[in-house]
């Protein structure tokens, strides 16, 4: 019996003490399209980064064509016939297609062979003289596939290949993938989309919380069973007091935001959040959640639609971030270090920076630094921010959980009426997560309208009073709480 092209078993990998993979496995045959399914954070990309030599597993076993393999890095993986097309392409954007292929493959002869392969075997019509930054997303992806196949890939890994493609482009790509497999190449299709799995995969492995929980034939397995394996069946949440929504405080009407290539990231989204309510926005990453959050915060100008803060009686679509904050908006961004804290500034400066322009600490040129220190010390104590040796300490020295609590301490220091919280507990331990959740619940009890955007379905289910599911830039379903986890899962993975 021919051994599998790739066999991974009992793979474990931890990052900063958190398990990303905990006994995961995958076996892929030559000539097979094998889907790797799972929700965000399940470990799909981590497992494939191990297969491609980017990560070294803490433990476990890897074999290629039946021979044990311990990869020394990505170059070693490529030399052994493993090619990976990442979700975020690894091309030199100012270079032409030909220059990128020469850079990847090591010479003009190899580049010409790659272009011939693109045209003859793959059906890609690539212009070698076009710069990568002038190509569409689908064309850039084709360049990546050509790089991998021309480099001798006998195992091709595609990480979320249809995430930002149109339906027609996705159909063409996946048909090409079937053709690649027909030549004997093993293909791993990392995805969250059930329609792609059902139509194009021969077999599917499902990961959940870093573990392999199922290996099934997608054509012989119902959507309900695939969804159950993907999102799981968790114990019933403990009863909690539901929010009682009051007047609408935040409303989006026909919101539309574009990606850099002109395609819609948010495509006509409508939602509203009332006073005293947590609205949870669930969905797989890359479906417009980040762009929607940026539009609400004022750091992205929408192409169309309206953003309204009802308490202010105002259309705020054209207002600056500062003006929106003065109207009661508080923001907890997904990346606290990149967008919420200035690491080289002190904790006190980070706390005060958003309020100095309002005159809270006196006029410009006469800032009351003692008042800043008093307000910062009070907020730090109230929010139990640990690791603060002095208020002059750089914010970059705080741990992840304490950095997040410092952001919340600042954002909740005023009388904010709208809270935008994007992935507020990402990367936090259980204690820090509980503290963040408690603050969001307290804000709701105080009458704030809370929009919680999270890829963690458990977080949404435990906090939200209403839940929306975002897919392909639209709100495709809404649920009152307590909501059916399976129904939400079907909406998340069934609209691909």
Those residues with Cβ within 8 angstroms of residue 193's Cβ, 6 or more apart along the chain or in another chain: 162, 493, 496
29-57 burial, b for 16+ CB within 10 Å, e for fewer?
A: bbebbbbbbbbbbbbbbbbbbbbbbbbeb
**Tokens 């709208």 appear where?**
418
Which of 30-34, 155-159, 428-432 has the least mean pLDDT? 428-432
Q: Which of 49-53, 235-239, 246-250 has the lowest mean pLDDT?
A: 235-239
Q: Of 264, 268, 284, which is closest to residue 475 (Cα–Cα)?
A: 268
- Rounded Cα–Cα distance for residues 324 and 91 (Å): 37
Could you read off the pLDDT of 98-145 as tens digits, one per residue? 999 999 998 889 899 998 988 888 988 889 999 998 988 889 999 999
219 C-beta neighbours (distance < 10 Å), count: 12
Which residues are bridge partners to 158 per DSSP? 85, 189
Tell which wins on pLDDT, 227 or 22.
22
Say if residue 311's pLDDT is above 70.
no
Q: CA dist 394 to 342, 379, 407, 455, Å?
A: 9, 17, 14, 30
What percent of the chain is predicted at pLDDT more than 70? 94
Q: 252 is written with which tokens?
A: 């989006």
* pTM passes above 0.85: no
Fold adopted by 6-231: Rossmann fold (3.40.50)
Domain with CATH 3.40.50.300 in the chain: 6-231, 236-328+415-496
- From edge to edge, which strands make up the β-sheet containing 59-64? 18-28, 6-15, 59-64, 67-68
Query: In a 3-state reduction of DSSP, which class is residue 58?
Result: coil
- For position 226, what pLDDT does the model report? 86
Q: How is residue 363 written in tokens?
A: 């006029």
Tokens for 480, please give them.
């009152």
Using the structure block, give the residue that is written with the tokens 């300490």: 393
Over residues 14-42, the mean pLDDT reads 88
The secondary element (H helix, E strand) that includes residue 113 is helix 108-117
DSSP 454-479: -S-HHHHHHH-SEEEEEETTEEEEEE
What pLDDT sits at residue 175? 92
CA distance 84 to 52: 7
Which residues, in sequence order, are bridge partners of residue 60? none
Is it the case that residue 236 has pLDDT exceeding 60?
no
User: What pLDDT shows up at residue 241?
Assistant: 56
On whether the CB atoms of residues 246 and 449 are closer than 8 A, the answer is no
Q: What is the pLDDT of residue 270?
A: 94
pLDDT mean over 388-416? 83
Residues 264-308: pLDDT tens digits? 999 999 999 999 999 999 988 778 999 999 999 999 999 999 999
Q: What is the mean pLDDT of the chain?
A: 87
How far is residue 367's CA from residue 121's CA, in Å, rounded to a whole number? 68
Query: Domain 236-328+415-496 belongs to what topology?
Result: Rossmann fold (3.40.50)
162-218: per-residue pLDDT in tens?
876 777 888 889 999 999 999 999 999 998 778 888 889 999 999 988 999 999 999
Asked whether the beta carbons of 92 and 103 are under 8 A apart, the reply is yes
Closest by CA position to 26, among listed 43, 2, 40, 1: 43
Residue 91 burial (C-beta neighbours within 10 Å; 0-12, 13-18, 19+): buried
């Amino acid at each position: 019996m021919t051994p599998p092209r790739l066999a991974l078993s009992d793979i474990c990998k931890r990052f900063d003490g958190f398990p990303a993979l905990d006994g995961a496995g995958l076996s892929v045959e030559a000539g097979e399209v094998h889907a790797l399914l799972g929700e965000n954070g399940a470990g799909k990309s981590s497992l494939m980064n191990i297969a491609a030599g980017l990560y070294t597993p803490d433990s476990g076993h890897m074999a290629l064509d039946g021979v044990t393999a311990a990869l020394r890095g990505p170059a070693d993986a490529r030399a052994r016939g493993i090619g990976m097309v990442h979700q975020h392409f690894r091309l030199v954007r100012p270079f032409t297609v030909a220059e990128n292929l020469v850079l990847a493959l090591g010479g003009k002869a190899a580049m010409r062979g790659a272009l011939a392969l693109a045209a003859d075997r793959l059906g890609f019509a690539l212009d070698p003289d076009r710069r990568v930054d002038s190509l569409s997303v689908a064309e850039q992806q084709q360049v990546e596939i050509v790089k991998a196949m021309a480099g001798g890939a006998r195992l091709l890994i595609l990480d979320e290949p249809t995430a930002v493609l149109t339906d027609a482009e996705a159909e063409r790509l996946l048909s090409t993938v079937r053709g690649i497999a027909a030549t004997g190449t093993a293909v791993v299709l990392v995805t969250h989309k059930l329609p792609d799995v059902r139509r194009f995969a021969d077999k599917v492995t499902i990961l959940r919380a870093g573990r392999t929980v199922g290996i099934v034939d997608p054509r012989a397995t119902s959507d309900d069973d695939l969804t159950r394996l993907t999102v799981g069946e968790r114990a019933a949440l403990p009863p909690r007091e539901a929010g009682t929504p009051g007047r609408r405080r935040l409303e989006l009407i026909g919101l539309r935001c574009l990606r850099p290539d002109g395609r819609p990231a948010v495509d006509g989204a409508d939602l509203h959040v009332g006073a005293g309510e947590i609205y949870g926005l669930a969905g797989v990453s890359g479906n417009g959640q980040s762009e929607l959050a940026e539009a609400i915060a004022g750091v992205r100008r929408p192409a169309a639609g309206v953003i309204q803060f009802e308490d202010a009686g105002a259309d705020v679509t054209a207002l600056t971030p500062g003006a929106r904050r003065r109207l009661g908006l508080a923001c907890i961004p997904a990346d606290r270090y990149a967008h919420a804290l200035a690491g080289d500034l002190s904790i006190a400066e980070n706390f005060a920076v958003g309020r100095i322009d309002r005159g809270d600490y006196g006029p410009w040129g006469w800032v009351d630094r003692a008042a800043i220190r008093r307000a910062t010390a009070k907020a730090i104590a109230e929010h139990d921010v640990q690791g603060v040796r002095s208020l002059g300490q750089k914010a970059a020295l705080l741990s992840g959980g304490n950095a997040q609590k410092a952001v919340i301490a600042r954002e909740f220091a005023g009388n904010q009426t709208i809270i935008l919280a994007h992935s507020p507990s990402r990367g936090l331990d259980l204690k820090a997560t509980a503290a963040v959740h408690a603050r969001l619940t307290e804000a709701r009890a105080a009458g704030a309208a809370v929009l919680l955007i999270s890829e963690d379905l458990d977080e949404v289910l435990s906090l939200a009073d209403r839940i929306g599911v975002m897919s392909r830039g639209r709100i495709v379903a809404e649920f009152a709480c307590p909501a059916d986890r399976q129904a939400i899962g079907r909406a998340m993975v069934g609209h691909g």
